[in-house]
């Protein structure tokens, strides 16, 4: 009996170890994967002025080409019955900007939203500026439906020579104000879910989860990017509550094999399990050799040797260790993808 107890205990320990080491599949709510068909946001645009800059605004004047900032200031002052000759204006504390935003189709008058601003002239920085109240419309020839304004916010870049902050674009959290309600879609008539990232496997998982929770035949895959809903028997709670219930359901979608490289600072992001096969890549004094383990190591400047099956992060770490530039890292991984040593999609940003 003692040996049987020991054997059972050992089996239990091994099974526990297997389950502990098994990868945990992330449960993702459907609201993060799909949109209701009518949930198409409105895009708003406007032309405005960022004022209060510390000498970093547009350097153009009316007598030169590109004096739109001066003319905009003249028109602004004219609204307050102030007439100033354009040739006397200098605009180093003002910058002409384009204002853009995305608004939910269900936002009503009085709702606030974030706006983005970008310089149109030759301003060197928008830091410290304030966006003058700017009308926003759905198109250049449409009536304004919202306004934007407020202090601009610029995100600082990371430390280092390769990273810097772009100061000619900024955002204003809560800087937009919807003044007229936009035409809203009929939510009760929602008949389709649209995947944010089309994928047939994910669409099948979504349909299966809905059919299991709501009832057989409630959902069917139309194509990799959409799932058709049949909610005719939604019950007394109505379609809105059923769709709300659907959005709370969770699935475990299979992640796409993808390697994302920041071409500015060399950051490499990859999912676990991505490995590199045999290949040799030479680029500007750096040679990456992914060869069999029985290959004798070589002491050569700029040579990086790793064994086949090494993870993407191990290869990235080795390249960083020899001082490879962000551009070189991006080029090497692209070459590995081209020769089939990396089967994942390589995205360079």
- pLDDT tens digit sequence for 107-117: 999 999 999 99
Same domain, 67 and 140: yes
- Asked if residue 77 belongs to a domain, the reply is yes
- Asked if residue 10 belongs to a domain, the reply is no
> Beta partners for 197?
none
Same domain, 264 and 247: no
Same domain, 173 and 53: yes
Strand order in the sheet with 258-261: 268-270, 258-261, 345-348
Q: Using alpha carbons, select from 159, 174, 248 the residue that is nearest to residue 206.
A: 248
Same domain, 88 and 155: yes
Domain-terminating residue out of 251, 282, 300: 251
Same domain, 232 and 196: yes
- Asked if residue 27 belongs to a domain, the reply is no
Same domain, 169 and 192: no
Domain assignment of residue 270, given as a range = 258-348
Q: What are phi and psi of 332, to 5 degrees?
A: -65, -45
Same domain, 74 and 158: yes
Same domain, 168 and 59: yes
- Asked if residue 6 belongs to a domain, the reply is no
Same domain, 98 and 153: yes
What are the distances in angstroms from CA 200 to CA 126, 203, 227, 240? 44, 5, 10, 26
Q: How many domains does the chain have?
A: 3
pTM of the predicted structure, to 2 decimals: 0.67
Same domain, 165 and 228: no
200-256 pLDDT tens trace: 999 999 999 999 998 888 899 999 999 998 876 555 556 778 888 888 999 988 777
Model confidence at 284: pLDDT above 80: yes
> Beta partners for 28?
251
13-72 pLDDT tens trace: 444 444 444 445 578 899 999 988 878 889 999 999 999 999 998 886 555 544 788 888
Same domain, 300 and 244: no
Per the model's pLDDT, the better-predicted residue between 8 and 332 turns out to be 332
Same domain, 218 and 323: no
- Asked if residue 9 belongs to a domain, the reply is no
Model confidence at 161: pLDDT above 50: no
- Asked if residue 225 belongs to a domain, the reply is yes
Is the C-alpha dihedral spanning 334, 336, 339, 345 positive or negative?
negative
Range list of H helices, the chain: 2-21, 68-78, 200-214, 238-248, 312-321, 326-338
């Amino acid at each position: 009996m003692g040996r049987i107890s020991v054997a059972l205990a050992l089996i239990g320990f091994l099974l526990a170890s297997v389950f502990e080491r098994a990868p945990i599949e992330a449960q993702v709510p459907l609201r993060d994967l799909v949109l209701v068909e009518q949930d198409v946001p409105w895009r708003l645009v406007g032309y405005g002025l960022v004022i209060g800059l510390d000498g970093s605004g547009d350097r153009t004047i009316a007598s030169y080409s590109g004096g739109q900032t001066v003319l905009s200031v003249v028109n602004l002052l004219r609204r307050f019955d102030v007439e100033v000759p354009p040739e006397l204006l200098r605009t180093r504390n003002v910058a002409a900007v384009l204002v853009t935003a995305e608004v939910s189709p269900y936002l009503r008058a009085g709702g606030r939203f974030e706006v983005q601003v970008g310089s149109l002239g030759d301003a060197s920085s928008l830091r410290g500026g304030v966006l003058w109240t700017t009308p926003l419309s759905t198109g250049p020839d449409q009536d304004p439906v919202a306004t934007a304004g407020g202090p601009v916010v610029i995100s600082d870049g990371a430390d280092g020579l390769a990273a810097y902050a772009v100061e000619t674009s900024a955002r204003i959290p809560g800087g937009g104000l919807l003044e007229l309600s936009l035409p809203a879609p009929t939510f009760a008539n929602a008949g389709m879910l649209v995947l944010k990232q089309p994928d047939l496997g994910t669409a099948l998982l979504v349909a299966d989860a809905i059919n299991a929770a709501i009832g057989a035949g409630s959902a069917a895959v139309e194509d990799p990017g959409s799932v058709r809903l049949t909610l005719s028997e939604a019950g007394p709670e109505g379609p809105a509550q059923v769709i709300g219930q659907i959005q709370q359901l969770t699935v475990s979608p299979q992640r796409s094999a993808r390697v994302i490289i920041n071409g500015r600072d060399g950051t490499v992001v990859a999912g676990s399990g991505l490995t590199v096969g045999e290949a040799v890549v030479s680029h500007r004094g750096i040679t990456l050799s992914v060869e069999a383990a029985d290959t004798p190591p070589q002491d050569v400047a700029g040579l990086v040797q790793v064994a086949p099956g090494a993870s993407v992060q191990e290869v990235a770490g080795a390249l960083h260790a020899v001082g490879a530039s962000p551009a070189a890292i991006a080029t090497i991984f692209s070459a590995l993808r081209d020769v089939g040593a990396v089967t994942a999609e390589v995205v360079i940003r």
